Amino acid sequence: MNVRVLVAKVGLDGHDRGIKVVARLLRDAGMEVVYTGLFQTPETVASAAIQEDVDVVGLSMLSGAHMTLAPLVVQALRERGSEIPVVLGGIVPPQDLDELQELGIAAVFGPGASAEEIVRTITGIVALSS
């Protein structure tokens, strides 16, 4: 299965080391990765995901804006008629996990998530959504 993943930094979070590490590990696992760069809006991420015909959108958020920005990406995708799953990595308090899932986030990866866990989860999400 050839998996295409778009990874993005939404909002004003300028910390990009983690997303670059994740992009590399996804590539090493055989996935195609598109990185949109820093300071993206939910709308630009949704447009890029559709244009690039990706299977999954991966967001990296360390700014604490995950409860606002991640659901806006899901909303922007759905408004464009897309059901592309969205996953989130970053600093997310445990009490936010259930609500993020209810808002359409397919998976959340916190600090210490292993490469194997990330690859396995993304592969599973793509298999379920195909």
Give the pLDDT confidence of 34-63 residue by residue, as tens digits.
999 999 999 999 999 999 999 999 999 988
Burial class (CB in 10 A: 0-12, 13-18, 19+), 92: buried
Q: Which residue has the tokens 């991640």?
A: 70
Sequence-separated (6 or more) residues with CB below 8 Å from residue 19: 7, 8, 9, 35, 58, 60, 89
Q: What is the Cα 70 distance to its own chain's centre?
A: 8
pLDDT at 13: 84
| Residue 62 belongs to a domain | no
Please report the pLDDT score of residue 25 as a whole number.
97
The reply to whether 49 falls in a domain is yes
Asked whether the predicted pLDDT for residue 80 surpasses 90, the reply is: yes
Residue 78 lies in a domain: yes
Does residue 61 lie within any of the structural domains?
no
Strand segments, DSSP code E, in 17-128 are 32-35, 56-61, 86-90, 105-109
Domain housing 88: 4-54+67-129
- pLDDT greater than 90 at residue 86: yes
Domain total of the chain: 1
* pTM (two decimals): 0.96
